[in-house]
Amino acid sequence: MSQFSDKSVLITGASGGLGQQLAEDFAREGARVTVNYSSSAEAAHATVARFVEVGGQAMACHADIASADDVTAMVEKVMATYGGVDILINNAGLSIDAPFLELSEIDWDQVMGVNLKGPFLLSQAVGRHMVAAGWGRIINISATSAIKARVGNANYAASKAGLNMLTQSMALELGPHVTVNAVGLGFVDSPLVRKLFSAEQIKQAQDNVPAKRMTTYAETSAFVMMLASDTASFVTGQTIPFDGGRVMR
């Protein structure tokens, strides 16, 4: 039996990308998975349907995580359906790049809403139940941009830097039985990365790290699951770079 059997796992932004990979991997291990989405309803429900077809337990749940009302409604639904949330993965992320002097207030607020306010609202709502239950795991998906900025990325970098400090603050206050950690992602081989960056930029990024490559969704998911496991029960308050060594350069 997997240690995730019958664990309730809530993953934000899980209709595609890394979130979808995480949902699939946790479902495969017997977890009861909530696939949160904000706009990709068809993809979210298709993901859930695949799990259910093979005997898994999963549901799709719409919520704008930057809305306190939506977050409250989603957590109440998960509590009513699965009896609690054992593992929360704040995976949803938004990047709207622009030169700093041209960055709009709207784009600043949107990125902060998804990347920082959302994890705050969800972690607070879920954290109350975890503390009461005496067990929980919160994992925030951060980025190396939080400590190694790049041009045109001020709102995203600032949001992830804030998420790293939120991780530490929550770990201090939610312990000892709830751990809170973050994963500082580098380049992940994905359609989004290949859309945002040219082949030359990607090659330069790969050449500039000791690992000489990007990571994959599957590899990243396995690392996140390790942090959610009993193996990492003594790890909390950490933002762990998962970047092939980028932050060293």
104-147, pLDDT tens digit by residue? 999 999 999 999 999 999 999 999 999 999 999 999 999 999 99
pLDDT number for residue 36: 98
Q: What is the pLDDT of residues 34-69, one digit of tens each?
A: 999 999 899 999 999 998 888 889 999 999 999 999
For residue 181, pLDDT over 70 is answered with yes
For residue 4, pLDDT over 60 is answered with yes
pLDDT band at 148 (very low <50, low <70, confident <90, very high): confident
pLDDT number for residue 154: 97
Q: What is the C-alpha to C-alpha distance for residues 143 and 150, in angstroms, rounded to an integer?
A: 12
One of 3.40.50.720, 3.20.20.80, 3.40.190.10, 3.40.980.10 is the CATH number of 8-186+216-241, namely: 3.40.50.720
**Residue with the larger pLDDT of the pair 247 and 104:** 104
pLDDT number for residue 196: 78
Q: Is-contact 68 120, C-beta < 8 A?
A: no
Percent of the chain with pLDDT over 70: 99
Domain boundaries, the chain: 8-186+216-241
| Environment class of 54 (CB within 10 Å of its CB; exposed 0-12, middle 13-18, buried 19+) | exposed
Q: Looking at the annotation, which residues are catalytic? A: 156
Q: What is the C-alpha to C-alpha distance for residues 96 and 67, in angstroms, rounded to an integer?
A: 19
CA distances from 74 to 59, 68, 130, 217 (A): 11, 10, 16, 26
For residue 1, pLDDT over 60 is answered with no
For residue 247, pLDDT over 90 is answered with no
Which residues pair with residue 89 across a beta bridge? Answer: 11, 139
Reduced to 3 states, what is the DSSP secondary structure of residue 50?
Answer: helix
Q: What is the pLDDT of residues 71-96, one digit of tens each?
A: 999 999 999 999 999 999 999 999 99
**Residue with the larger pLDDT of the pair 127 and 245:** 127
For residue 229, pLDDT over 90 is answered with yes
On average, the pLDDT of the chain sits at 94
The full DSSP string for 10-42 is EETT-SSHHHHHHHHHHHHTT-EEEEEESS-HH
Q: What is the pLDDT of residues 6-23, one digit of tens each?
A: 999 999 999 999 999 999
Which residues pair with residue 58 across a beta bridge? Answer: 33
Q: What is the C-alpha to C-alpha distance for residues 187 and 145, in angstroms, rounded to an integer?
A: 10
pLDDT number for residue 177: 96
pLDDT number for residue 244: 84
Percent of the chain with pLDDT over 90: 82
pLDDT band at 249 (very low <50, low <70, confident <90, very high): low
Q: What is the pLDDT of residues 198-215, one digit of tens each?
A: 889 889 888 888 899 988
